[in-house]
Amino acid sequence: MASLLSTTWSLRARLLALVVGLVVFDAVAVAVAYVLGHVAFGLLPLVGYDTGTLFWTMGFDIVPLWPVILVGTPLVLAVQSIYGYRMTLRGAGTTATESRASDPESIDEMRAEVRRSETTDRLQRRVARLAQTVDMATPDVTVIDAEAPNSYVASRPGEQTLFVTTALVDQLDDAELDAVIAHELAHLKNGDAFVMTAAAFLPTVSALFTRTLGKTVQYSGLCHWFLGGEDRDGTWFAGGNIQIVMLLFAVIAIPVTATLYLASTACYRLLSRIREYAADAGGVAICGSPAALASALETLTDSQRPDTDIRTAETGVRELCVVPHAIEPDEQTPPEGRAERLAHRWRTVTERVLPGSHPAVDDRIDALTERQSTLDQHEQP
């Protein structure tokens, strides 16, 4: 028991440290936006060769940095809580609103819609029963029609949603399904579902900015020969000085946004790894069966060993899932042209450098098996 309490407090301390780290990253992101904003504003006078304005702007005399950080960091946190939730819903490939608004166009789609609705009703009752055992609000339930068995929760103040794929419902028995749902409810009970939902915002946005800046470089007339592109509409060499300004800004900003992406994603994934152990323990406390959760994890991973590295999926929803499989399989197409090969190489290198989004499933199963053995020993007379 003492060892269990020590482990629990250790997990909480590490979780708190990573949350503080995420807030620090938000402050750094605000500072980065402040600096890059000055750089962009300072480069604009180059269009008219106004070098005096350039040097004045780069002196950072427009607005002081510290007030921007003090005001901007809480704003970023607020934006994370709102748009992080929406981005997470989009990351699953569906939302509750979209699934209700879309009309089936064939008999097969109509049958699938009816089946999904019936499954949602059954799961809602099951979730309500388990949530009642720990006196917590029942989250909304959305069933995703997907071949990958998985589940996750997304949360923001006043709104909580549990996502379950049809494949997960089909492959697990009642005890295993209860255990997986209890695992997800533990995320909500612990409060880390909201933290993770918000934390997904910064890696996603920094990755988007980096890709956009990369496209700016790719379509620059000065780089098109090196990157092996084709100027089909003759626009690459149009724009004159504006092209130079955009290229200079991209060259300056890409290393900054890429570094921010790597750092925030590493923190996000480390947070994901820690929360899985805590949710496993919390799920066991709700369902009362470590063996059922261990069996569910084994079932989900044995039947879904990916043919390719599971870490090639986009950062976002995967870190929230009970097992690290993408909800929808990524269609990997061979990169064409030097620019796409460079982008593919960048993704490959970053995935090798970044930590995995989940602890090893075998380690989680071993920990659950040990918990089951401890419970069995206590139950013996």
Assign 3-class secondary structure to 238-252. CCCHHHHHHHHHHHH
| pLDDT at residue 311 in the model | 38
> Which of 216, 201, 259 has the alpha carbon at shortest distance from 35?
259
The confidence band for 331, taking pLDDT boundaries of 50, 70 and 90, is: low
Burial degree of 264 (CB within 10 A; 0-12, 13-18, 19+): buried
Q: From CA 182, how far away is CA 164, in angstroms rounded?
A: 13
CB of 183 within 8 A of CB of 280? yes
The confidence band for 118, taking pLDDT boundaries of 50, 70 and 90, is: confident
| pLDDT at residue 12 in the model | 67
Which pTM value belongs to this model? 0.75
| pLDDT at residue 100 in the model | 44
Please compute the mean of the pLDDT values over residues 120-130 and round it to a whole number. 91
Question: 311-316 long-range CB contacts below 8 Å, 24 or more apart?
Answer: 311/351, 311/354, 311/356, 311/357, 312/347, 312/351, 314/91, 315/200, 315/203, 315/204, 315/207, 315/265, 315/268, 315/269, 315/357, 316/87, 316/88, 316/91, 316/200, 316/203, 316/204
pLDDT at 310 over 70: no
The confidence band for 139, taking pLDDT boundaries of 50, 70 and 90, is: very high
Tens digits of residue pLDDT in 221-254: 556 555 555 555 454 444 556 777 777 888 888 9
pLDDT at 302 over 80: no
- Partners of residue 154 on adjacent β-strands: 161
Residues 6+ apart with CB under 8 A from 327: 91, 92, 93, 144, 146, 148, 150, 163, 165, 317, 321
Q: From CA 172, how far away is CA 174, in angstroms rounded?
A: 7
| pLDDT at residue 157 in the model | 78
- Partners of residue 159 on adjacent β-strands: 156
Percentage above 70 pLDDT, the chain: 68
| pLDDT at residue 97 in the model | 40
pLDDT at 16 over 80: no
> Which of 146, 81, 110, 116 has the alpha carbon at shortest distance from 328?
146
CB of 142 within 8 A of CB of 99? yes
| pLDDT at residue 162 in the model | 92
| pLDDT at residue 293 in the model | 93
Residues 6+ apart with CB under 8 A from 221: 231, 236, 237, 243
Choose from 39-43, 197-201, 243-247, 333-337 the range with maximum mean pLDDT: 197-201
- Which residue's entry shows tokens 């301390």? 13
Of 105, 118, 184, 319, which one is the catalytic site residue? Answer: 184
pLDDT at 220 over 60: yes
The confidence band for 81, taking pLDDT boundaries of 50, 70 and 90, is: confident
Structure tokens at 147: 């071949």
Q: Is 298 a catalytic residue?
A: no
Dihedrals phi, psi of 151, to nearest 5 degrees: -155, 155
Higher-confidence position of 296 and 117: 296
Q: From CA 261, how far away is CA 326, in angstroms rounded?
A: 20
| pLDDT at residue 154 in the model | 85
Residue 311 is given by DSSP the state: G
